[in-house]
Amino acid sequence: MEAMAVSRYVRISARKARLVADLIRGRTIQEALDILALTPKKAVPLLRKTLLSAKANYQVKSDKGADLADTSLVIKEILVDQGPMLKRIRPRAQGRAYRIHKPMSHFKVTVGARD
């Protein structure tokens, strides 16, 4: 059995969030939380929140409930996709305007029992 959590329209670029997602892909929940606690990146609290939501979804969905240990749950899949781009204008010298891109991402975390 698997459970999933999705975070959409997160204000971070997908490229930067994938660096953190690659660190925890395929690990147990406890290992992933330990790695995230020591990683100094902006994506860490955003991915941690999604990971804990997926864990809670699994516990609600399973018959075992809260008795399930973090060591028996594995991150089956973690995807970071590019979301829409906010386009803003920055005034520049001599009446010019430069475009600023503010990227967004979508996170999808799937957890399941260890095979």
**Which pLDDT does position 64 carry in this prediction?**
62
**Which pLDDT does position 1 carry in this prediction?**
85
Element (H, E) at 104: strand 97-113
Range of the domain at 63: 2-113
pLDDT tens for 69-79 read 666 899 999 99
Average pLDDT on 64-88 reads: 83
**Which pLDDT does position 23 carry in this prediction?**
94
Structural domain count of the chain: 1
**Which pLDDT does position 69 carry in this prediction?**
62
Q: What are residue 80's DSSP bridge partners?
A: 107
User: CA–CA distance from 10 to each of 21, 28, 59, 66, 81 (Å)?
Assistant: 14, 24, 25, 29, 10
pLDDT tens for 18-56 read 999 999 999 999 999 999 999 999 999 999 999 999 999
Pairing mode, strands 97-113 and 2-10: antiparallel
**Which pLDDT does position 113 carry in this prediction?**
87
Q: What is the CATH number of the domain that holds 90?
A: 3.90.470.10
Query: What is the average pLDDT value for the chain, to the nearest integer?
Result: 91
Q: What are residue 6's DSSP bridge partners?
A: 108
**Which pLDDT does position 114 carry in this prediction?**
81
